[in-house]
Amino acid sequence: RKSTSRLVVGNWKMNGSLALNQTLLAGLLEKTKATPEKYATVQLAVCPSFPYLAQVQQALSGSSISWGAQDISLYTEGAYTGEVSVGMLMDFACQWAIVGHSERRSYHGETSQQVAEKARLALSQGMTPIVCIGESLEQRQEGNTLAIIEQQLKPVLALGEQLKNIVVAYEPVWAIGTGLTATPEQAQEVHAFIRELLRQQQAPQVQILYGGSVKSANAASLFAMQDIDGALVGGAALDADEFLAIAIA
């Protein structure tokens, strides 16, 4: 299974500006072009805020780095002020859409059912959803981690034939932006469980990313685990050198 290609995605969250992005993108391009062999076995992607997708598209077109959105609307068009549809994102050649990030779930009340619907919508238009799931600290301490994971993934597992085309990101909420990382063993336990749930739906090949304070110093030990196929990176994705060091790990 370790032959599965690796994927490292940068979630820029609500950070950046035209000027800052330009510097970051130039750094990513310069280094990946200088030593392409170092990145031969890893797919790289970045997810900026919506207004910067055109900038990112222009900078990265023709490069080995792809791009995506941090969220998508549940709806395809119409009277949904402030929302951005999958079709609009396809106009900017987005390959990926993060759906169900814990910040969307907690600040915007997104449910697992809605997250699965977003994944279905993305897939229907040829975009790959990166479906985020993860338990809170309280849920972990109460011993409910695997039950929560199964509950969050359940509507997604019902996607049917298209399930094999998603990416899953396991992001323990207590590890996001906190500097606390799950140990490789803690992460692997959950990844193996997710793998088994996917296997039961004939989709064992789905890439399962880990997210939560990944940095170059801890990436290699996480990536060494059997069922960790890459990372969704927040804070460390805002620095080109650090992001690429994670990719190389």
The site for ligand PEP (CB under 6 A) is made up of 11, 171, 176-177, 211-214, 232-236
Alpha carbon dihedral 130, 81, 19, 246, in 10-degree steps, equals -10
Chain position whose Cβ is nearest to ligand PEP:
234
Which is nearer to ligand PEP, 58 or 230 (by Cβ)? 230
Catalytic residue, chosen from 101, 103, 110, 191, is 101
As a whole number of angstroms, the distance between CA 54 and CA 179 comes to 31
Per the DSSP assignment, residues forming a β-bridge with 57 are none
Residue 67 CB, nearest distance to ligand PEP (Å)?
16
The answer to whether residue 171 is catalytic is: yes
Rounded to a whole number of angstroms, the minimum distance from the CB of residue 77 to ligand PEP is 28
Residues 6+ apart with CB under 8 A from 29: 59, 60, 63, 65
Q: Which listed residue (110, 117, 135, 171) is catalytic?
A: 171
Other C-beta atoms closer than 10 Å to the C-beta of 35 total 11
Residue that the structure tokens 């993934």 belong to: 153
The CB-of-171 to ligand PEP minimum distance in angstroms stands at 5
110 catalytic? Reply is no
DSSP states along 177-201? SSS----HHHHHHHHHHHHHHHHHT
- Residue 12 or 92: the one with the smaller Cβ distance to ligand PEP is 12
Rounded least distance, CB 193 to ligand PEP, Å: 19
> Is residue 234 marked as binding?
yes
Quick one: tokens of 53? 């997708």
| Binding-site annotation: residue ranges for substrate | 11-13, 177, 213, 234-235
| Binding-site annotation: residue ranges | 11-13, 177, 213, 234-235
Active site residues: 101, 171
